[in-house]
Amino acid sequence: MICAGIDAGSRAIKVVLFDLTQSRVVAQGISDQGVEQARLAEALYDDTLRKAGLQRARIHSVVATGYGRHRVALARDTITEITCHARGVHQLEPYARSIVEIGGQDSKVIRLEEGGRVRDFAMNDRCAAGTGRFLELLAARLGLDWPGLAELSGLSRRPAVISNTCVVFAETEIVGLLADGVAAADIAAGVQHSIATRVTAMAGRALERPVVFTGGVALQPGMVRALEGALGFPVQVPPAPQFTGALGAAILAGRAA
């Protein structure tokens, strides 16, 4: 039985096709989010099916999650991203007790009970300073793409201190640091440290281990190092950290059918 999960996130749409009988991912796809969310989600869904050699009729059920989930017309049901991330992470890391998810426009800290059930969570969706948006602004300011930013931050030897907690003022601070001759690598590492510090502070208290780091920002090695530095211990990163929400939605689609 194959089910589909569609994560209509703020910056990207992700689709996962999951075979519940064999407990494996059949195919997955990702595309940039845009104004026409319903059309983009449907196009990505069909493209993912095509790559897997499947027809829509083969899909038992579809569940949508993410901030744009209610605009995904082809979904049979919708489930919150908190629940879907928890289920997706539990599939990949059954012993996980905490999740740090940093996406393009929000960040989440989710605590799990045994069995992957959500105990509680905290979420930041009002300030870009603790999200991937801050890194996007930094990359644009430095004239870099996403891989280039990851490579640059790895060259830092002394991360800069970013004191402003508002991304608008922080961007002005970055301009000042560049004018003062601070190395771009140190500024990049400093921004990553700032994001990690804000996210761990949002947790409010120590996170129970193992901690799994998910979201597109987890693809930045410098962010992994920054988060581990803020927490004081290692974190686990799944092979495709940006797909955990869609994976959870696909698995839960089997129950919703």
112: which 2 tokens? 């799990």
Task: Answer for the pair 49, 3: CB distance below 8 angstroms, yes or no.
Answer: no
Task: Calculate mean pLDDT across residues 31-44.
Answer: 89
111: which 2 tokens? 């605590």
Long-range contact set of residues 182-187: C-beta below 8 Å, sequence gap at least 24: 183/156, 184/142, 184/152, 185/152, 185/153, 185/154, 185/155, 185/156, 185/157, 186/156, 186/157, 186/158, 186/159, 186/160, 187/138, 187/142, 187/160, 187/162
Question: Of 40-49, 83-92, 143-152, 196-205, which range is least confident?
Answer: 196-205
Asked if the model's pLDDT at residue 245 lies above 90, the reply is yes
pLDDT at 184: 94
Element (H, E) at 111: strand 107-112
Task: Provide the edge-to-edge strand list for the sheet that holds 118-124.
Answer: 118-124, 107-112, 98-102, 211-214
pLDDT in tens, 122-164: 988 667 667 788 888 888 888 998 889 889 999 998 999 887 6
Q: Looking up tokens 């605590």, which residue turns up?
A: 111
**Which residue(s) pair with 222 in the sheet?**
none
pLDDT at 126: 64
pLDDT in tens, 59-117: 999 999 998 999 999 999 999 999 999 999 999 999 999 999 998 888 999 999 988 99
Element (H, E) at 53: none
The CA-based angle 32-36-40, given to 5 degrees, is 50
Say how far apart CA 117 and CA 77 lie, in whole Å. 20
Asked if the model's pLDDT at residue 206 lies above 90, the reply is no
Walk me through the domains of the chain, giving residue ranges and CATH numbers. 1-93+240-257 (3.30.420.40), 96-237 (3.30.420.40)
Residue 208 is classified by DSSP as P
pLDDT at 183: 94
**Residue 202: C-alpha distances to residues 11, 110, 122, 207 (Å):** 22, 11, 7, 11
